[in-house]
Chains A and B, each alone.
Chain A
């Protein structure tokens, strides 16, 4: 197990260095002088320009600059936002819980609907239910979620007036920040109505962000279950006279879970992609909206730092999935 862990961890080091290199080079590729870009349209006088050039190390060779960039990274310094002048890492940490809360709700939503739908579709293969699930999930998979969000707003917020249009919580409430997760913070604050306000703001974004993972999980669960249900040991279990529920829930599902767990892990990247769009539609104050606003303001340190942090998170989650995979399936652990 230790060797397995070690090889997996050693594999992500070059990828991480690669991402830092990519992010570093990409920012260098932006046409124009970085100091002038930072100064914006007001311009900058020559003496200050020279001073800033020295301060940021732009007078050094590129390789040296990269080395300093890496050193700063290791100290957790991702630079400062040009617009707010706050450290990028600080802004990221303060906005991250909003994105995590939304993503967790979305993946939970996808699991609660996707797993049962996939299992029933596999058990009742070729039934109307099966065709329905497959059709709906292919549609969900093809869904432009930025449009889906607008449609849901049109129906539930505008026509029916059930849910709010945007934001995380009604402006009436002031909830002291403890965890950054509003669902928890509103409960801790004890303010009346704050929790239900937070929940009602979460519903539509959760559905929008959960749609693609839901489709993927339902499809994957169905095909994994179909494969497992055809195995000999399932026939043996049936021959032993075990109940249908026991066979499906215990014998089949356990083995089918292995590919499903992997697919769930791979959804992290999909969730970030979706979060960028969902947060833009619902004005959700999270990482995705922050990045898009950063681009609009030409706030390159935000873009650079945000990309690096998201890349690192996705990489870490993938690693965790790999390790979990090794834990549930001992066959993977052995070196080939």
Chain B
């Protein structure tokens, strides 16, 4: 590893282009926002993984002696509940910590599904063309035409509310972006010489698609995936808020907000904190996504 880095610096001195990773790293580090986003995400990941150890209480444990206790710094608050308690005496901090785990899990799962299914459909559409391509792309057009949340709502209304159905609905809604990117990249790459060379040397379609073409269209997919996680978290929270996502007592941020709505007049903390967590998380992924886009491919900058 150190050896590699050393040779690369020498290359730069001699005027040869730097290794793509170092070039990327240099670009990325200059983008303060992206670096901040990355650190926030790392922090959230640590919280999510260690949720069972750092949360002071169980997220669903109710305490009949402590309804709607304010945070510690406000009159009436106590060190027992740092960020106060909700309407049935559950510790806010513990719920937020466990909510982090759930939201990140939702974000990553949704994106994994969308990327795998979307890229496969896009590769197939771009590679085989013809009627298959028309069918896939028309279907994607329809998904894109309907407002994203509306389609997700319709899907959840049919499958029934719950985390896993909300997850699936959001994954379907995000699908077209990946299909389009993958298809466009495949069409652009297929005509290039290295693909022809691989074809001539006898590579089959599947090998061509996965081993030759796919690695060369990863950059836009990675960028879209990072930005997609923020959309996924936001949409899942919106579904939770509308009562169609995670169901109580699950500590999901959107669901917590829906529960807190009626206490907006009496307890600002039950309303403020869950939304703040959503905003910070989504903002962090958007910052990172923007930074990655600029660093990986300046042409994509919009």
Contact = CB atoms under 8 A, between A and B. Distances in A.
Interface in A106-149: 138-139, 141-144, 146-148
Interface in A217-233: 220, 223
Contacts of A223: 301-302
B154 A14 contact: no
A15 B242 contact: no
A154 B158 contact: no
Interface in B212-252: 230, 234, 237-238, 241-244
Contacts of B286: 138, 141-142
A311 interface: yes
Contacts of B230: 142
A146 B154 contact: no
A159 B265 CA distance: 9
Nearest to B258: A146
A29 B155 CA distance: 10
A18 B150 contact: no
B83 interface: no
Contact of B147 (A14, A141, A273): A273
B145 interface: yes
A277 B146 contact: no
Contacts of B283: 138-139, 142
Contact of A151 (B142, B150, B155, B271): B271
B48 to A, nearest CB: 19
**Chain B interface secondary structure, helix, strand, loop or mixed?**
helix
Contacts of B290: 138
A270 B147 contact: yes
A150 to B, nearest CB: 5
Interface string B36-54: 0000000000000000000
Contacts of A153: 264
Centre residue among A27, A142, A295 by max chain B CB count within 10 A: A142
A141 B148 CA distance: 15
Interface string B111-146: 000000000000000000000000000110110011
A158 B146 contact: no
Nearest to A139: B283
A26 B169 CA distance: 13
Contact of B272 (A143, A151, A273, A318): A151
A273 B148 contact: yes
Contacts of A154: 264, 268, 271-272
Interface in B273-302: 274-276, 278-279, 282-283, 286-287, 290, 301-302
Nearest to B290: A138
Contact of A291 (B148, B153, B278): B153
A291 B149 contact: no
Interface residues of A, number: 43
B238 A277 contact: yes
Contacts of B282: 142-144
Contact of B138 (A14, A27, A269, A307): A14
A213 B146 CA distance: 17
Contacts of B302: 220, 223
B275 A30 contact: no
Interface in A163-202: none
A261 interface: no
Given A30-B158, A142-B230, A307-B154, A292 B242 contact: yes
A147 B268 contact: no
A25 to B, nearest CB: 10
Contacts of A143: 279, 282
A325 interface: no
B35 to A, nearest CB: 15
A18 B287 CA distance: 36
A144 B150 contact: no
Given A18-B139, A30-B158, A154-B268, A291 B150 contact: yes
A310 interface: yes
A257 interface: no
A115 B96 CA distance: 37
Interface of B: 33, 138-139, 141-142, 145-151, 153-155, 157-158, 230, 234, 237-238, 241-244, 254, 257, 260-261, 264-265, 268, 271-272, 274-276, 278-279, 282-283, 286-287, 290, 301-302
Q: Which 5 A-B pairs have the closest CB atoms?
A: A147-B275, A273-B149, A272-B147, A142-B282, A142-B283
